[in-house]
Amino acid sequence: MNNPLRDIDLYGLTSEEHSLGRTNLEVVRTMLDAGIRLIQYREKDKPGRTKLEECTAIRELTRQTGALFLVNDDVAVAQAVGADGVHVGQDDLPVPVVRRLLGPGKIIGLSTHCPDEARAAVQAGADYIGVGPIFATKTKKDVCAPVGLEYLEWVTANLSIPFVAIGGIKEHNIGEVVQRGASCVAMITEIVAKPDIPAQIQALRKAMQQKIKETQS
């Protein structure tokens, strides 16, 4: 599969509990209108029927805008709504099993926290990996300790698999992440918890571009 993260700078995720009273559908529509081209549905505690209904609607929105749509963990929901793929963690279904269920044309991302997990992800056939959490984060309830920028640097230097940096990344530190080689960055509360999502996305992109210019000069 070609790089699924090509031309994706900001990787959008849902988190309704942090969205200031807005629904996932409202937030996703706003993110898409602001130019985000990859949405991951990440609602671990909602009932299956609710997830199916929300993902059906989000799939339609992403299809209309030409954006990629991934579902976190739930392979069945991803299949049911025709999502572009799934993102799984180390304790979820193994990548080869997910591949058998979804087929060869779907995207499979896998969260990794260390070089051994990254190498194993490549061997297992993941299409991209999550690298993190880079910094401390409170968004995820069962999160491991921050891996720091060192792991990000290792991935940049040693692997060719596409990756997204995630975990505690904010406007004030996104430049450090870009400087270490990340071209695709995932954020949750730094986007969905902001009153003006389009303005925040613009500010994040500006910070990323500024650091890219600095590193190239």
The pLDDT, as a whole number, for residue 138 is 74
User: What per-residue confidence (pLDDT) applies to 1?
Assistant: 72
What is the C-alpha separation between 154 and 115, in angstroms, rounded? Answer: 7
Residues designated catalytic: 42, 111, 140
- φ/ψ (deg, to 5) at 14: -90, 150
H helices of the chain, in order, are 24-33, 48-65, 75-81, 95-102, 115-124, 148-158, 174-179, 189-192, 197-216
Report pLDDT digits (tens) over 24-70. 999 999 999 999 999 999 999 999 999 999 999 999 999 999 999 99
Q: What is the pLDDT of residue 91?
A: 96
pLDDT of residue 140: 61
201 CB-side CA count, 13 A: 22
pLDDT at position 141, please? 64
User: Which phi-psi region, left, alpha or beta, contains residue 22 (left: φ > 0; alpha: ψ -120 to 50)?
Assistant: beta
**Could you tell me the sign of the dihedral formed by the alpha carbons of 102, 192, 184, 159, in that order?**
negative
- Percent of the chain whose pLDDT exceeds 90: 90
Cis omega (within 30 of 0) for bond into 133 = yes
Which DSSP symbol is given to 190?
A: H
Q: What is the pLDDT of residues 67-111, one digit of tens each?
A: 999 999 999 999 999 999 999 999 999 999 999 999 999 999 999
Q: What are 172-192's pLDDT values in tens digits?
A: 999 999 999 999 999 999 999
The model's pLDDT over 162-174, given as tens digits with 9 standing for 90+, comes to 999 999 999 999 9
Residue 46 DSSP code: S
Domains plus CATH for the chain?
Answer: 10-216 (3.20.20.70)
Instruction: Band the pLDDT of 142: cuts 50, 70, 90.
Output: low
Look up residue 73 and give its DSSP letter.
S
**pLDDT recorded at residue 70:** 98
pLDDT value, residue 216: 82
Residue 155's pLDDT band (boundaries 50, 70, 90)?
Answer: very high
The rounded distance, in Å, linking the Cα atoms of 73 and 48 is 12
Which of residues 147 and 216 earns the better pLDDT score?
A: 147
Of 22 and 212, which is predicted with more confidence?
Answer: 22
